[in-house]
Amino acid sequence: MFIPKTEKIKKLSEKYSKNIQELESIFDKNTYVYIDFANVIHWQDKLQWHISVKRLKQFLESFNTIKDIKIYYGTLENNEHSLDLIQSFNECKYHCKTKKVKIIKNL
């Protein structure tokens, strides 16, 4: 069952009620969500959207069958954006797993 966590999510769920019903049928049992955020970044670019990690978590937690949300994102050393993003995952209380990204140099 979908119970919106915020007023904004409630308004969006009313606007996109068919999508919510479809997701309810997908999340019809206990569900564990695993997100590879590197893929999400590419969706943002392709769709020209901004995906808020905070709102994404609030949205997913609005489904009472979602029991856990885990997120993976590689850490780019000395990259402020990468470190900020990982910090925002932790602030939103995602179960975050990360490891250093290996940079392979062309020969």
Tens of pLDDT along 74-95? 888 888 888 898 899 999 999 9
Report how many domains make up the chain: 1
Mean pLDDT, the chain, rounded, equals: 90
- pTM value? 0.81
Looking at the domain assignment, is residue 58 inside a domain? yes
Looking at the domain assignment, is residue 64 inside a domain? yes
Looking at the domain assignment, is residue 68 inside a domain? yes
Looking at the domain assignment, is residue 1 inside a domain? no
- Cβ-defined contacts of 91-95 (< 8 Å, 24+): 92/53, 92/54, 92/57, 93/57, 94/53, 94/57, 94/69, 94/70, 95/68, 95/69, 95/70, 95/71
- Give the domain range for residue 28: 7-97
